[in-house]
């Protein structure tokens, strides 16, 4: 998996001083839905962001359930148009908005992030009521922070952007408590913010954000939905519950749920087979978690599908190279690293450097 040179590495399997803290840390990761893969956390010996900064802690409600007004509203009410209160001109622009959003996501998944930024900005101006462009715009520094290089600058950029997405999602949920999209976004956003806070050693804030996100995840768990986004949320939840160490299982039982790792994989596989664009997210999570479980054949198969679907995505090529390297397939691994270097995207130059380093190590073996 992607490695860094940080002095301290922290992941969700770490032996924190108490089982309760470990469970809270697991709960943080349960909130990782629909925007990026579960990732290892790295804490760098750097000057941390100011924890008093409102971007760390503002807009984290003490009681997320209260925002939903009626606890059963999501289940009982039909989902309304996301722009029911928007102006006529805005509604007339919705087809164009959706086209721009799809185009921006295509650029995003090819790691053509400058193009994605421009298109997302247009989408934000076209439909100011929809939080999705704000969400995906925040994912650009988030992916780079966790998959490539952790820096305070990227952390700050993500926190600023995600704060805007949180505020817009909360506003939309206030207007329509039956809006499942806002619940999905808020679950993911609070989870991602907790991950970044943990990466910057702000564990109190990380746990608070993680628990807030978990409240929204619980709402998703109550939905009997075939939406792939909900399947992804359930898949990650089941995987994390099933991965908690035996000595901490009694704490998991207090959540009133029972699940195992294979149940998580099944949900993710189902989501990955959908025709929705979010199926890429499910595939990415499957690739990462299969690799984490050392199921390299399964991981390599999903990685192959990902690079075929998104041939310009440097992160997918790099990850495929690491998986193949773990399998001892040196020639194929080196080819994946070369594809990172020849990808048309001008983004992620730090990943180019990492691929160069990998090739310098492998190429004597493949000549």
Report residue 11 as tokens: 């992941």
Q: What is the pLDDT of residue 172?
A: 93
**pLDDT at residue 281, rounded to an integer:** 86
pLDDT surpasses 50 at 80: no
The per-residue pLDDT for 16 is 24
* Chain position carrying tokens 């073996």: 365
**From its phi and psi, is residue 349 left (phi > 0), alpha (psi between -120 and 50) or beta?**
alpha
Strand, coil or helix: 55: helix
Measured between alpha carbons, how far is residue 224 from residues 178, 221, 228, 234 in Å? 14, 8, 12, 11
Closest-CA residue to 136 (of 111, 157, 116): 116
Rounded average pLDDT over 153-179: 92
- For residue 62, CA distances in Å to 67, 182, 185, 208 come to 10, 18, 18, 9
Q: 327: which DSSP letter?
A: T
Alpha carbons within 13 A on the beta-carbon side of 74: 23
Predicted structure pTM score: 0.70
pLDDT digits (tens, 9 = 90+) for 191-249: 888 878 877 877 777 777 777 877 887 777 776 567 887 788 778 777 877 777 666 66
Q: pLDDT by residue (tens digit) across 305-358?
A: 999 999 999 999 999 999 999 999 999 999 999 999 999 888 899 999 999 999
Question: CA 243 to CA 162: how far, in whole Å?
Answer: 28
Cα 337 to Cα 143: distance, rounded to the nearest angstrom: 19
Q: Which residue has the tokens 């499910």?
A: 282
CB-based contacts of 285, cutoff 8 Å, min separation 6? 37, 38, 232, 235, 236, 268
- Rounded (10°) CA dihedral 18, 19, 24, 27: 160
Could you list the beta-strand ranges (E) of 72-186.
none
């Amino acid at each position: 998996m992607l490695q860094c040179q940080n002095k301290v590495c922290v992941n969700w399997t770490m032996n924190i001083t108490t089982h309760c803290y470990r469970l809270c840390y697991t709960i943080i990761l349960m909130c990782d839905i629909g925007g990026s893969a579960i990732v290892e956390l790295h804490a760098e010996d750097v000057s941390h962001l100011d924890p008093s900064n409102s971007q760390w802690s503002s807009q984290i409600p003490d009681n997320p359930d209260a925002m939903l007004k009626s606890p059963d509203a999501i289940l009982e009410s039909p989902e309304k148009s996301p722009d029911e209160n928007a102006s006529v001109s805005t509604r007339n622009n919705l087809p164009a908005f959706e086209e721009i959003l799809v185009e921006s996501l295509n650029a995003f998944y090819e790691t053509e992030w400058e193009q994605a930024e421009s298109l997302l900005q247009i989408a934000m101006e076209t439909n100011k009521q929809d939080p999705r462009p704000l969400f995906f715009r925040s994912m650009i520094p988030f992916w780079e922070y966790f998959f490539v290089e952790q820096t305070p600058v990227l952390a700050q950029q993500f926190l600023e952007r995600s704060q805007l997405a949180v505020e817009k999602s909360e506003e939309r949920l206030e207007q329509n408590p039956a809006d499942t999209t806002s619940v999905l976004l808020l679950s993911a956003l609070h989870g991602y913010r907790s991950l970044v806070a943990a990466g910057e050693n702000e564990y109190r804030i990380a746990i608070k954000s993680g628990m807030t996100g978990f409240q929204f995840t619980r709402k998703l768990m109550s939905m009997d939905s075939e939406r792939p986004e909900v399947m992804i949320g359930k898949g990650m939840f089941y995987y994390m519950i099933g991965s908690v160490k035996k000595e901490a299982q009694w704490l998991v039982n207090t959540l009133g749920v029972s699940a195992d790792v294979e149940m998580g994989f099944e949900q993710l596989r189902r989501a990955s087979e959908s025709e929705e664009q979010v199926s890429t997210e499910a595939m990415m999570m499957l690739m990462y978690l299969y690799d984490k479980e050392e199921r390299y054949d399964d991981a390599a198969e999903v990685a192959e599908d990902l690079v075929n679907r998104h041939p310009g995505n440097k992160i997918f090529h790099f990850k495929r190279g690491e998986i193949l390297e773990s399998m001892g397939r040196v020639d194929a691994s080196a080819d994946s690293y070369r594809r990172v270097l020849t990808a048309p995207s001008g983004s992620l130059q730090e990943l180019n450097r990492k691929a160069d380093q990998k090739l310098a190590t492998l190429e004597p073996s493949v000549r």
